[in-house]
Structure 1
């Protein structure tokens, strides 16, 4: 009977939680919470947009190896690339630099001129791919401290109220202090995905930069040698032979 009554008795509601911590913390707690939410949203936005951008460049690199170097000349190869391709940008800048070299009044080696032009084009692409990573690094390094700031303010307010009420029991202290630690947990929850996303995207950017650099070196050799030097590629697959048409049979 006693066990039945104990089970049927309503459980006391937990007076501590996130919303209670925000209400107790006041404007500062709400400000910290909104900042952390904004950082989290920005982290996942940059992660997904950069993944799409990186994958696009990776797919463009596969197309370059499959079609560009099989073209008869560099302009024909450029026409086969996508309009907004990163590799097309490098090729077009190389063609433009080659044409402008003949207009120079001071003697400049073609290799040095083309190397500088292609290097600037490659650096611009790498800079674009690296956009947003500074935000991830900032979030990963500062969000724990922002959450800790919210915790400090929460503990300060809790201790002030406990002191004013004259209560010093363990339940009066542990509850508000534990509630204030929610902000620190939120700061860590925001920081960990940001750090993981930064390292993951940085590693992919490094791989893409190596592929772009290899293509730039091959393109430079091609331009300086007037097409005599270019990487060896497998021949294009032959088209399947047409099946012979059977002669109609006479009735």
Structure 2
């Protein structure tokens, strides 16, 4: 009998736990593939976009050149935000340095929220899947012991089979959780590197605009 048949041959609770684990696995792997592709593109886009920005003759040239390199829209929002003017509002209060700090910080937060998409889901799957599998194991062992007790004479041979089948749910929970945890940690490091590059660019952009504004 295959592991899949063992998992789905139980009662409603046992089958429900198996379906939950299956759903968690499908969603987690979808996020892993999608996010891996996204971060790979994002890592290249940031380096290419910042290089294209600094090679542009002026700000307008940079705004025209960036869309061709910034496919994931990570650098362009920072440049666009730095050009927004809101005269006569509280957003325009304070000196130029304060205004730039505020708009670049807000734009950077928006970009990082997109990069963080899916991380909470991976963390949730990685932390809860083992316990969902354990629930199926406990439930399966309980029913196995009840069935064996009601069958009369109890022996190791009669216990080993049903209990071993129930323990497969624990293995299934770990099989769902481990890839999610590994992906969460790897993606977290990649996001941290991209975040550092974007923060550095935002700081350099602020200094550039302040220098230009002072007529240097």
Q: 1:95 — aligned with what?
A: 83
Shift in alpha-carbon separation, 1:90–1:213, aligned structure 2, 3 A? same
Q: 1:114 — aligned with what?
A: 100
Q: 2:110 — aligned with what?
A: 124
Residue aligned with 1:225, SS: helix
Q: Deviation of residue 53 (structure 1)? A: 1.6
Task: Provide, for residues 205-234 of structure 1, a one-character-per-residue CA deviation record: whole Å limited to 9, x for no partner.
Answer: 00000000010001101111117899xxxx
Q: 1:157 — aligned with what?
A: 143
Match of 2:129 among 112, 136, 143: 143
Residue aligned with 2:11, SS: helix
Structure 2: where are the runs of 5+ without partners?
none
TM-score of the two chains, using structure 2 as the length reference = 0.91
Q: Deviation of residue 57 (structure 1)? A: 1.9
Q: Does structure 2 retain, via aligned residues, the 8 Å contact 1:144–1:187?
A: yes
Shift in alpha-carbon separation, 1:171–1:133, aligned structure 2, 3 A? same
Q: Deviation of residue 80 (structure 1)? A: 0.3
Q: Does structure 2 retain, via aligned residues, the 8 Å contact 1:147–1:183?
A: yes
Q: Deviation of residue 59 (structure 1)? A: 1.9
Structure 1: where are the runs of 5+ without partners?
1-13, 231-251
Q: 1:47 — aligned with what?
A: 32
Bigger-Rg structure (1/2): 1
Alignment of 1:208-223 (within 5 A): 208-223=194-209
Q: Deviation of residue 64 (structure 1)? A: 2.4
TM-score of the two chains, using structure 1 as the length reference = 0.79
Q: Does structure 1 retain, via aligned residues, the 8 Å contact 2:134–2:170?
A: yes
Q: 1:233 — aligned with what?
A: none
Match of 1:199 among 185, 200, 204: 185
Q: Does structure 1 retain, via aligned residues, the 8 Å contact 2:93–2:99?
A: no
Q: Does structure 2 retain, via aligned residues, the 8 Å contact 1:21–1:154?
A: no
Q: 1:82 — aligned with what?
A: 67
Q: Write out the 4+ residue segments of structure 1 that deviate beyond 6 Å after TM superposition.
A: 227-230
